[in-house]
Structure 1
């Protein structure tokens, strides 16, 4: 794999009002790290790439979404190998972030006058980015390249999925050890950093909780020897408990699903449930969009007021009311009314009664004299809240169940059901606790984030919860990488098609379709 040997120069200047993005147009190694303000250029670059790295796994996100109809993703969701290969999924954006993080760690010794707190802040941002980057790669591609630093130029082989996860854990634990809680984060000028995209003890703990849960699940799913899944699940519980118990920061569940929707729909709001987000910075340009592609995929009337109910087919992903009635079987579940617009009313188009998404209520428009309404839809107005406290409760419940501690698993599950006004576990007909926790995660995060695909894999439900070819995968297919994205061609060839890395081979499952 080719790896960068010079500092990436950002082609645009990004506003500093949200994430303190202040990349310069040209810097060199001799002056790039002399002072903290110059060092912060690289820290800002890390966050720029972090804010844009989710495209690397968008194919898996679409494959896992709970939806009845799609505009153009049916072949992808059926896991047609040629469609997946032609999708062009690429991990370059993740490695951009990894390079910048390594660059900072390799050069921060050049910075004069850093206090221990400021040193920890910048290195903490870098270690969190490395942990998050390798987390994305391990879940999205399975095997990936683990680079030594930003300076060593050599041909890298692929590392195993477990090695990639362990490298992510190593960096995330270092981030957790040096970072303060989010309320104590400060900018270069000493101001408060309100965005939850900045790495803190809280989102480092959330990353570790998910990393250890993922590690345990791949040990079970792939039969990996040498480490035990139970140890990993216990570590996930430990980090989840640090968050829930307040040790990693002051987080709390929002009182009701309705209040949650209002907070999700206001990126400037102080959401006490929010742990880690990719920030939506509208000040970048008048066409800037949120990085929450999941919420955007379901967006339609009435949030998009340039549309009508009859335009339902323009939504990329759609849900029928009958599906929502099945998914939320309790009439008392407040998420029915909060997550969907006028749920008790019929919204019939071409003989189908649709559930109208209303979890994200606000949109951004621009004036458009050529449009009938005088407006053009730009984006829903929302951060990509990647992890919130409800996620941590349900992740801990999942790990407790896998550890055989059903009492504590039920308590965490029922904490979320209680907030929703839903019937406590076990509801009539419920007997599978692990499945009940999975379904609760579906209900809680529907139309909100990319968690469902990975929830399915962690629980081994890919043959029953995914579509098409997923249902026919053999054990050999799974071992050969069928549940991961194919290794992108950019890993072994340059833009002209010349092979530059002979040590990287495509995963066995995808080879016949190349």
Structure 2
């Protein structure tokens, strides 16, 4: 069962209550003088940070930012951003391109980092809370730099005033230093305890393994996007720390991935947005990727003919992805893929029935009795299979073919799929396809994989295919900067590519 974590919001209300957080004084200046007296105060502040983090990184708007999902049909709201034509659906104030919420997470982390010393905690407990704040701040900057590229760097809670965009490489270096500190300060996941000495099992609470896992991704990103191949060695070293020493274990089968890992807080999970079936805790029925693409047989009161009007993936696409019939993910991630493919398209729409998320929560009582309320599944940000396949990718880039194959085969073996053969062709492409298969539709994975590996013209849609080298240099695969960033900030500048393509700021 999922461990109930106390996600207090005591200080969440203090996290820059004004809209323009870059130019207004924080509202917590006076409050700080009367707070931070003991561990309970610090714990409240840290859980307030996690509350903001969960709100921001569990928001359905985030899913629209993943423009690499392999659906064959998308409605317009999903289609145009996935074609790199966001201005067709998203105006300059649309929430999906507004980074102010991410900066609220950073503001909350800065609040903890700048004030935790006031409580005079024992070193171990001081490090436990400070390490969490470093880790959350670093992950958020990593998310920002991948989504928008250059962005303001806010280092302290008292750092106010107009801000220009800092080169993304500097943001990356800042996040790397945060993560190095967090990795030293935080215990392993199995050794996390709260202020009441109760074991913490939520994978939203960072451990040393979380910091190492984010570092593995961050080094791989900077190595590829900034042409620093020497960083690949560091990515592998960080992945080694997770795989060999983190205490994480792969689930036994794809069925266990769906039933246990996707539900959350499993031994395979490393970093997650934690949701539980409690009043006010779950998102709405449509506020989860499953709510947009899953109907029958997971969603109650549906039939095989229930229309899927937002997102669909064709049977033929799935069969091409999972070519071998022994691959157990065919019949776990998709319900009766082969037999349902033989049913008339007037019923199936020619599409596979996705069934990867199973933590259904129903409405009880009233007119909606028995209908879908939401999913209890966590948002899985990083899990062990992801890190193993990332290490395989980086090893392949560095010429460690045996090591890359061993990592690739570890995931294939778990799935019951055939082990890698040189007859398949390019090893790096085989690993990329394995990431597509294993991490199918998981939050923000495929798009950033494609950008990291430079295959966006081949694998993405629409205008991604025609991006020139100058377009790329001008930020063509980043998001445009939303209008909120320009409020009372004369130093802000729009990404050059998007200034030419639909965004005037």
Length, aligned pairs only? 475
Tell me if the contact between 2:275 and 2:282 (Cα under 8 Å) persists in the aligned partners: no
Change (3 A) 1:485 1:250: same
State the distance in 1 between where 2:194 and 2:221 align.
32
2:132 counterpart SS class: helix
Asked if structure 2 preserves the Cα contact closer than 8 Å seen for 1:158 and 1:504, the reply is yes
- Conserved in 1, the CA contact under 8 Å of 2:285 and 2:372? no
Counterpart-to-counterpart distance in 2, 1:256 and 1:273: 12
Equivalent in the alignment of 1:70: 74
Offset, 1:272: 1.5
After superposing on structure 2, the runs of 4+ consecutive aligned residues of structure 1 that deviate more than 4 Å are 24-27, 289-292
Q: CA deviation at 1:70?
A: 1.7
Task: Give the distance between the partners of 2:272 and 2:365, measured in 1 at CA.
Answer: 31
1:32 equivalent in structure 2: 35
1:106-162 Cα shifts (integer Å, max 9, x gaps): 1112214x1111100110111001111100001110011111300132322101111
> 2:223 corresponds to which residue?
216
Look up the match of 1:5.
none
Q: Which one of the candidate residues 243, 263, 266 is aligned to 2:263?
A: 266
- Relative distance call for 1:290 and 1:230 in structure 2 (3 A) is farther
Q: Measure the CA separation in 2 of the matches of 1:295 and 1:241.
A: 32
Give the equivalent residue in structure 1 for 2:464.
Answer: 470
CA separation of 1:501 and 1:415: change in aligned 2, threshold 3 A = same
Residue correspondence of structure 1 range 390-429 to structure 2 within 5 A: 390-426=385-421, 428=423
Q: Distance in 1 between matches of 2:232 and 2:290?
A: 30
Q: Aligned partners of 2:455 and 2:218: how far apart in 1?
A: 19
Give the SS at the match of 1:311. Answer: coil
Would the aligned equivalents of 1:203 and 1:276 in 2 still touch at CA under 8 Å? Answer: yes
- Taking the aligned partners of 1:312 and 1:441, their CA distance within structure 2 comes to 29
Partner of 1:363: 360
- Tell me which residue corresponds to 1:121: 128
The superposition leaves residues 375-431 of structure 1 with CA deviations (integer Å, 9 ceiling, x where unpaired) of 331212201121111101100011111112112111111111111111111264x21
Using the alignment, how far apart are the partners of 1:502 and 1:336 within structure 2? 52
Alignment match, 2:105: 97
1:450 is displaced (CA, Å) by 1.7
Partner SS for 2:312: strand
2:297 to 278, 299, 302: 302
CA contact (8 A) 1:274 1:389 kept: yes
Check the 8 A contact 1:290/1:382 in 2, yes or no.
Answer: no
Q: Does 1:18 align with 2:5?
A: yes
| 1:382 counterpart residue number | 377
Greater shift, 71-80 or 251-260, is seen at 71-80
Deviation at 1:289, TM superposition (A): 4.5
RMSD, matched Cα: 2.1
Query: CA separation of 1:167/1:284 partners in 2, compared to 1, >3 Å: closer, same or farther?
Result: farther
Counterpart for residue 311 of structure 2: 317
SS in structure 2 of the partner of residue 355 of structure 1 = coil
Tell me what 2:56 maps to: 53
Q: Is the 8 A contact 1:51 1:291 kept in 2?
A: no
CA distance in 2, matches of 1:290, 1:204: 32
TM-score normalised by length of structure 1: 0.88
1:265 CA displacement: 4.9
CA contact 2:293–2:308 (8 Å) conserved in 1: no
Moved more, 84-93 or 162-171: 84-93
Q: 1:501-512 maps to which residues of 2 (within 5 A)?
A: 501-512=489-500
Change (3 A) 1:185 1:292: farther
How far did residue 22 of structure 1 move? 5.0
Greater mean deviation of Cα atoms: 33-42 or 395-404: 33-42
| Aligned-pair CA distance for 1:78 | 1.5
Match of 1:239? 238
Q: 1:458 deviation in Å?
A: 0.7
- Residue 106 of structure 1 corresponds to 114
| Consecutive unaligned residues in structure 1, runs of 5 or more | 1-15, 221-228, 494-499
